[in-house]
Amino acid sequence: MESEKTVLITGASTGIGLATARALCGTGYRVILTARRSSLPRFAARGIEESVHVRIRPLDVTKPEERLAVLAEAERDWGGIDVLINNAGVSYRAVVEHVAEDERLAQMNVNFRSPMEMIRLVLPSMRAKRAGRILTISSVGGMMAMPTMAAYSASKFALEGAHEALWYEVRPWGIRVTLVQPGFVDSDGFQKVRYTAESDRSEHELAEPYHEHYVNMSPFIAKLMRMSMATPDSVARVVIKTIRRRRPPLRVPATMDARVFALLRRIVPRSMYHWLLYRMLPNVRTWGPSEERISLLPNRADDGER
Ligand SMILES: NC(=O)c1ccc[n+]([C@@H]2O[C@H](COP(=O)([O-])OP(=O)(O)OC[C@H]3O[C@@H](n4cnc5c(N)ncnc54)[C@H](OP(=O)(O)O)[C@@H]3O)[C@@H](O)[C@H]2O)c1
């Protein structure tokens, strides 16, 4: 019975999380909508308010004390979490050389380490009930990597590996584990992409060796998102359908492109797949420090004269 189940979702104040939050509020579930404290006013602005079945709580997923507080309250009042939806995520745009250690940690903290901690904290109660659902929003970036998205892909690949192990581990208690994998979604998500100190500089400086990587990949990704038929609402529908399935599979591609990439990964030999993808990268032949291009830059010409 949905009315006796409690669902908690992270990062519910925008995008896929907000769309899922709206959809959840219309079901019979008891729902705990969470977001960073500074983002909480967005719920009221979107007409979402607390009720008997809906609670809105602050949760920065990277803060241990906030994780413990929201889960302790759920345990005390509603007997724990039955369905955990790990949605909160951020995305850095940078080539490997441009991600400093603290930036890599920031990416991994939100996208990998925090959802794994949430899982660790809800599992004892799920095991005691011999039931539970863990649904984490992964990405096509968790099945394939693209240039300038190394840190993001690493975080999603890490989620994929950990959830695969978890799927086997908790099956004896009837706990179902699912990775929902959206591809490109027509949302604000990639506009809110974060640049690292180095990638920000390189995108704007013509003489930087990786300049062409950024100026070609950024509009390419933006275009793929704009062209996508998938929206936060369509992904939210997949999420709701998945948590209602009796036996949800480990991986659920949530958009058409995700289904195509999943199929390609299965049927095309890996070396051919990488070669094909490389050839499809926008203007890839111009990437790297072409001597001709560098020689046309004013500062380099000045250097030569000195
Ligand atoms: N959009 C896409 O094309 C796409 C594709 C594949 C996968 N995904 C995945 O889908 C999920 C949702 O992304 P989206 O597209 O809906 O992007 P979004 O609109 O940027 O939403 C991300 C949400 O995560 C929250 N968040 C970020 N850091 C947080 C933290 N430390 N603690 C708690 N919440 C935090 C954000 O809250 P604030 O507003 O407070 O920052 C926001 O509500 C992510 O896991 C993303 O990787 C998205």
Residue 153 appears among annotated catalytic residues: no
Lowest mean pLDDT of 110-119, 164-173, 188-197, 287-296, name the range: 287-296
The percentage of the chain sitting over the pLDDT mark of 90, rounded to a whole number, equals 88
Q: Looking at residue 4, what is its pLDDT? A: 86
**How many angstroms is it from 87 CA to the middle of ligand 1?**
6
The percentage of the chain sitting over the pLDDT mark of 70, rounded to a whole number, equals 92
> What backbone phi and psi angles, to 5 degrees, belong to 178?
-140, 140
The DSSP code sequence of 29-54 is: SEEEEEE-GGGTHHHHHTT----SSE
Contact indicator for 8, 227 with CB cutoff of 8 Å: no
Q: Looking at residue 292, what is its pLDDT? A: 63
- In this structure, the number of other CB atoms found within 10 A of the CB of residue 25 comes to 16
Average pLDDT, the chain: 93
Q: Looking at residue 167, what is its pLDDT? A: 98
Q: What residue type is assigned to position 228 of the chain? A: S
The per-residue pLDDT for range 259-297, each reduced to its tens digit, is 999 999 899 999 999 999 999 999 999 999 766 666 666
The per-residue pLDDT for range 206-219, each reduced to its tens digit, is 999 999 999 999 99
Residue 152 appears among annotated catalytic residues: yes
Q: How many Å apart are CA 213 and CA 208, to the nearest integer?
A: 10
Q: How confident is the model at residue 171 (pLDDT cuts 50, 70, 90)?
A: very high
* Global pTM exceeds 0.85: yes
User: Ligand 1: which residues within 6 Å by Cβ?
Assistant: 10-11, 13-17, 35-36, 39, 59-62, 87-91, 110, 137, 139, 182, 184-185, 187-190, 192, 225, 232
Contact indicator for 136, 76 with CB cutoff of 8 Å: no
Which structural domains are found in the chain, ordered by start? 2-195+230-269 (3.40.50.720)
Q: Looking at residue 216, what is its pLDDT? A: 97
β-sheet with 175-181: strand ranges across: 54-58, 30-35, 6-9, 83-86, 132-137, 175-181, 251-253
Q: If we measure between CA atoms, which residue out of 224, 199, 214 comes closest to residue 286?
A: 214
Q: Looking at residue 26, what is its pLDDT? A: 82
> What backbone phi and psi angles, to 5 degrees, belong to 69?
-65, -50
Which secondary structure element, helix H or strand E, spans residue 134, and what is its range?
Answer: strand 132-137
Q: Residues 5, 91, 92, 138: which is the catalytic one?
A: 138
Q: Residues 5, 13, 199, 202: which is the catalytic one?
A: 13
Q: Looking at residue 112, what is its pLDDT? A: 98
Q: How many Å apart are CA 30 and CA 45, to the nearest integer?
A: 21
Which secondary structure element, helix H or strand E, spans residue 9, and what is its range?
Answer: strand 6-9
Q: Which residue has the tokens 């004390």?
A: 65
Q: Looking at residue 304, what is its pLDDT? A: 40
Indicate if the pLDDT at residue 303 is higher than 50.
no
Indicate if the pLDDT at residue 46 is higher than 50.
yes
Q: Looking at residue 290, what is its pLDDT? A: 66
Which are the contacts of 151, defined by CB distance < 8 A and separation ≥ 6?
92, 94, 99, 103, 104, 107, 108
Q: Which residue has the tokens 């009720």?
A: 51
Q: How many Å apart are CA 246 and CA 174, to the nearest integer?
A: 11
Q: How confident is the model at residue 202 (pLDDT cuts 50, 70, 90)?
A: very high
Q: Looking at residue 190, what is its pLDDT? A: 63
Average confidence (pLDDT) over 146-158: 98
- Eight-class DSSP state of 112: I
**How many angstroms is it from 136 CA to the middle of ligand 1?**
12
- Eight-class DSSP state of 272: H
Average confidence (pLDDT) over 242-271: 95
Q: Looking at residue 188, what is its pLDDT? A: 75
Q: How many Å apart are CA 277 and CA 279, to the nearest integer?
A: 5
Q: How many Å apart are CA 74 and CA 31, to the nearest integer?
A: 10
Which secondary structure element, helix H or strand E, spans residue 252, and what is its range?
Answer: strand 251-253
Q: Looking at residue 246, what is its pLDDT? A: 95
Q: How many Å apart are CA 235 and CA 180, to the nearest integer?
A: 9
Q: How confident is the model at residue 302 (pLDDT cuts 50, 70, 90)?
A: very low
Indicate if the pLDDT at residue 140 is higher than 50.
yes
Q: How confident is the model at residue 306 (pLDDT cuts 50, 70, 90)?
A: very low
The per-residue pLDDT for range 84-131, each reduced to its tens digit, is 999 999 999 999 999 999 999 999 999 999 999 999 999 999 999 999
Q: Residues 153, 155, 156, 218: which is the catalytic one?
A: 156
Q: How many Å apart are CA 233 and CA 48, to the nearest integer?
A: 16
